[in-house]
Amino acid sequence: MSTQTTQDRLANAPTKPVYLDYQATTPMDPRVLDAMMPYFIEKFGNPHSRNHHYGWEAEEAVETARKQVADLIGADEREIVFTSGATESNNLAIAGVAHFYKDQKNHIVTVVTEHKCVLDTCRHLEQEGFTVTYLPVKTDGLVDLAALEAAITDKTVLVSIMAANNEIGVIQPLAEIGALCRKKGAFFHTDCAQAFGKIPLDVEAMKIDLMSISGHKIYGPKGIGALFVRRKPRVRLQAMIHGGGQERGMRSGTLPTPLCVGLGKAAEIARQEMASENARLTTLRDRFLKTVHGKLPEVFLNGDFSNRLPGNLNLSFAYVEGEGLMMGIKDLCVSSGSACTSASLEPSYVLRALGVEEELAHTSLRIGFGRFTTEAEVDYAADRIVEAVSKLRSMSPLWEMAQEGIDIKSIQWAAH
Amino acid sequence: MAYSEKVVDHYENPRNVGSFDKNDAAVGTGLVGAPACGDVMKLQIKVSADGIIEDAKFKTFGCGSAIASSSLVTEWVKGKSIDEASTIKNTDIAKHLALPPVKIHCSVLAEDAIKAAIDDYKRKHGA
C-alpha cells in the first residue's frame, strides 16, 4: 500500500463501512461459529440432564469451555461461573460479595472511570446503606496506589477496579492493586471485559479474587460472559438469580451450551494468538498515528500510551467537535466522547476524570483496531480523518481564533 | 440517530462558510455558544447603507445539526432588512431542518447568533 498516494486511497474507498469500534463489540471469529454450530441442533441437550446421552455431551462441551476460559487466566475450572455477560458478572461480583458479607463489612472502593455497570451497582448499594469510595485517577488515567491504600479500611469488603478502560484503553497496575488488597484484607474484583483475551492475566500472580469476563469483546458470541470466583481463599457471594442451583448455586438457569462453547473457543484462540495479534495491532496503531500526527497539528492522545490496550486509541482533534467529525467520516465506524452522541449533553465522564478540558473532551474519537482490521483500512481511515478534520477546522471559529493567536480561554463564553 | 436530508445537505455542502473583516463598519459579528458545551457559532452579516443584509458568512464548531442550523440562517438572512432578520425564530429553523428534540438547542443558538450579529452591527452604528 505504501506506493499508493492519499488520492489513490481515498478514490478506492471500501464498499462497506470500515469497522473501527472493537471496544464496543467484535465480529465473531468464524472458528468460534464453527465450534458452536453442532450445539444448536445436533447436540442440543440440556447440560444439566444427568442421565442421558444428550445431556452428557452438552455437559462435556460446557466443561471443556469452562476449562478453556480458566486456562486463559491461570484459574481452576471450578472457579468459573458462566453468566449472560460482563454486566451481569459485575453486578453479581459487587452486589453478591457486598450482600454476603454485610454483617461484617460495609465499605466498597472503586474508581470514577469504571464502566457504568460497576458505578451503577455501587450507587444501588449506597442506597441500601453501604459506603462507597470513588477514587479519582491521575491525568494518565491510572489509579494512584497510595490513594488506594489510604482508602482501604478494616470495613472494606471489596475493591473493584477495571483492568482496561473501555474508552481510553488504559491498563491499571493489577498486580500492585491485588497485592495491596490482599495485604489489607479486602477482596479484589476486576472488570476484565476489555482486558480478557487481550493482555496476559493471571489470577494468582495478580492476586485477583473475582474477575468479570465478556464473550463478545473477544470475537465470541454476545449474551455470554463469566465470573471468576476464587476458591482458595474462598470468596462467597449471595446469588442474584435463584432457581435450580446451577453454577454451584451462584447463578441458576440452564447454561446456553452453544454460547459457552463459543466463549471457550474464543478464549482458546486468544490464548494461542495473543502475542502475535498484539504485535500486529501495535504496528497498525503506530502506522495510523504516524499518518495522523504527520498531517494534523494539535491532535492529543487521551490516557497513558504505554499502559494501554494495543488496539485502542482515544484522540482529541482540537477545534473540531466529535459528533460533527463523525458525520464527516460516515464510512468509518468509531465512537466519540462528545456530548452530542449521548442524550445527556455532558461529555465523557472518563475523559473529564482525567482532567481533559471539556472543550477537548468534545473533540474526542475512540478508534479501535482488531483482529480483522487490515492495513488498507487503517490507511484509508487515517486519510479520511485527516481530510474531514482539515475541512471542519477550515470552518471552525475556534480554529480561526487559534490561528489568529487568540487564547480561547480568554473569552467570556456564555454557557448554554 | 439518523439526520434529516436537509441537515445532511447543509453539512456536506455548507452555504456561505467564511469570514468578513470584523472591523468593517458594514459588518456585524455574532459569536455565541461555548467550547465547553460543544457548540460555538460565528455568524457575520454585511449590511448595505439602506439596512439590507447583502451577504452573510458563518463558521461553526459543533455537531452536524449546529453546522446545518448556521448554514441555513446565512441563507435566510440574505436580502432581509436587519429588522426582518431579527424575527427569525429558532422554531422555524428546527422545523425546516426536522431537528429532533435533543438538537433543538442548535436552532436556539443559530437564532442567538443572528441577534448577536445584528446587535453588533447596531452598536457600531450607535443605535
Q: Considering chain A, what is the average pLDDT of its residues? A: 94
For residue range A269-297, list pLDDT tens digits in order: 999 999 999 999 999 999 999 999 999 99
Confidence class of residue A410 from pLDDT cuts 50, 70 and 90? confident
Question: To the nearest whole percent, how much of chain A has pLDDT over 90?
Answer: 88
Across the range A362-368, mean pLDDT stands at: 94
ipTM confidence score? 0.94
State which residue of chain B sits closest to A361, comparing Cα positions. B36
Chain B residues with at least one Cβ partner in A under 8 Å? 3, 8, 11, 14, 17, 19, 31-42, 58-64, 66-67, 102, 105, 108-109, 112
For residue range A59-117, list pLDDT tens digits in order: 999 999 999 999 999 999 999 999 999 999 999 999 999 999 999 999 999 999 999 99
Q: Which residues of chain B have pLDDT under 70?
A: 1, 127
Q: Which chain A positions have a beta carbon within 8 Å of B19's beta carbon?
A: 400
- Inter-chain touch B63–A323, beta carbons under 8 Å: yes
**Residue A1 confidence (pLDDT):** 44
Contact between residue A383 and residue A291 where contact means Cβ atoms under 8 Å apart: yes
* Rounded Cα gap, residues A333 and A328, in angstroms: 11
For residue range A333-363, list pLDDT tens digits in order: 999 876 555 556 578 899 999 999 888 899 9
Total number of domains constituting chain B: 1
Q: Which pTM was predicted?
A: 0.92
Q: Which chain A positions have a beta carbon within 8 Å of B60's beta carbon?
A: 395-397
State which residue of chain A sits closest to B63, comparing Cα positions. A324
What's the CATH number of domain A30-270, 3.50.50.60, 3.20.20.70, 3.40.640.10, 2.70.98.40?
A: 3.40.640.10
CA distance readout (Å), B60 to A323, B22, B109: 13, 16, 11
Q: Which of B61, B105, B107 to mutate to test the interface with A (most CBs of A within 10 A)?
A: B61
- Tell me A320's DSSP state: S
The secondary structure element, H or E, covering residue A80 is: strand A80-83
CA distance readout (Å), A392 to A230, A339, A367: 52, 18, 19
- Inter-chain touch A357–B40, beta carbons under 8 Å: no
CATH of the domain at B34: 3.90.1010.10
Residue A34 Cα to chain centre, angstroms: 25
**Residue B75 confidence (pLDDT):** 97
Q: Which chain A positions have a beta carbon within 8 Å of B119's beta carbon?
A: none
The residues spanned by each domain of chain A are: 6-28+274-395, 30-270
Where is pLDDT greater, at A5 or A256?
A256
The CATH code for residues A6-28+274-395 is: 3.90.1150.10
Report the gap between the CA of B8 and the closest CA in chain A (Å): 9
**Could you list the residue range(s) of the whole structural domain that residue B11 is in?**
5-124
Q: Is A241 exposed, middle or buried (0-12, 13-18, 19+ CB in 10 A)?
A: middle
Helix or strand or coil: residue B41? Answer: strand
